[in-house]
Amino acid sequence: MTIETPDKQQSSRFQLYDTNLHSRLILGSALYPSPDSLSGAVKASGAEIVTISLRRETAGRSAAKDFWQHIQKLGVKLLPNTAGCRTAKEAITTAQMARELFGTSWVKLEVIANDDTLQPDLFGLVEATKELSEQGFQVFPYTTEDLGAAEKLLTAGAEVLMPWGAPIGTGRGLMNPYALKTMRSYFPDTALIVDAGIGAPSHAAQAMEMGYDAILLNTAVAKAGDPVAMARAFKLAVEAGHLAFQALMIEERDMASPSTPVAGTPFFDLEKLD
């Protein structure tokens, strides 16, 4: 009998569009204190995909060139995002520019509805997903746990859905685990990635234990006291959560269940032993 190692189990049947992957952790590239800390975190995490913002890349010619060269040295697959876009039209234009600049049809699609929560605009998201899919993009929509919106996004051409755990950068973890569990059950054959709001490795493990395919995060690693150590912590948490899901965890109970059967337990009359 062949026993799979955790690495083999983690990589089994994990595909995003036409790309096979081993790592189930995706990292963002913003907010790091230095390029070296970004490189160290990516290596420690084992991530094969790194998100990159077109706005960051084009912010300044010299700085952008240096940043782009640094990213290229990481040897990872890029997932450009449309961060900061407020309309479908803005997001579509940004995605087109990103494809020209980075040479990839992958795009993390963000259409933001509210400045305080950075909640996705589901109407604009569906509109942009349909247009970009027709243009040959492979869309990773940043969405909520709304099942109706999810169905429309899949109909519009998306093959991956990325519901938030909590608002971007809050670190609050999974605010609505019930809805996330429902989404996982409702779309068993769709690649689902929890994106945004993850603040601790335990949050990532919780999502993976639900059966989610991957975790996308940025702030929790980039703003940690030690980004490299935190990246490794998240790597281990994602692996542990996925392995636990595969191993079939026990169901929760309302009452205690003895680990040692009562039947056959020896009982002694202490008075007779005296």
- String of DSSP letters for 17-44: TTEE-S--EEEE-SS-SSHHHHHHHHHH
Residue 258, helix vs strand vs coil:
coil
**Total-model pTM:** 0.87
How far is Cα 243 from Cα 96, in angstroms, rounded to an integer? 38
Contact (Cβ atoms closer than 8 angstroms) between residue 189 and residue 202: no
How much is the pLDDT for 272? 56
How far is Cα 90 from Cα 80, in angstroms, rounded to an integer? 14
E-assigned strand segments in the chain: 15-16, 19-20, 25-28, 49-53, 77-81, 106-109, 138-143, 160-163, 191-195, 214-217
Q: What are phi and psi of 79, to 5 degrees?
A: -125, 90
Candidates 108, 130, 152, 235; catalytic one = 108
Please confirm, yes or no, whether 108 is among the known catalytic residues.
yes
pLDDT digits (tens, 9 = 90+) for 96-132: 999 999 999 999 999 999 989 999 999 999 999 999 9
How far is Cα 270 from Cα 121, in angstroms, rounded to an integer? 72
Which residues of the chain carry a pLDDT beneath 50?
Answer: 1-11
| Run of H or E residues at 154 | helix 147-155
* Bridge partner list, 28: 51
How much is the pLDDT for 4? 43
Contact (Cβ atoms closer than 8 angstroms) between residue 106 and residue 138: yes
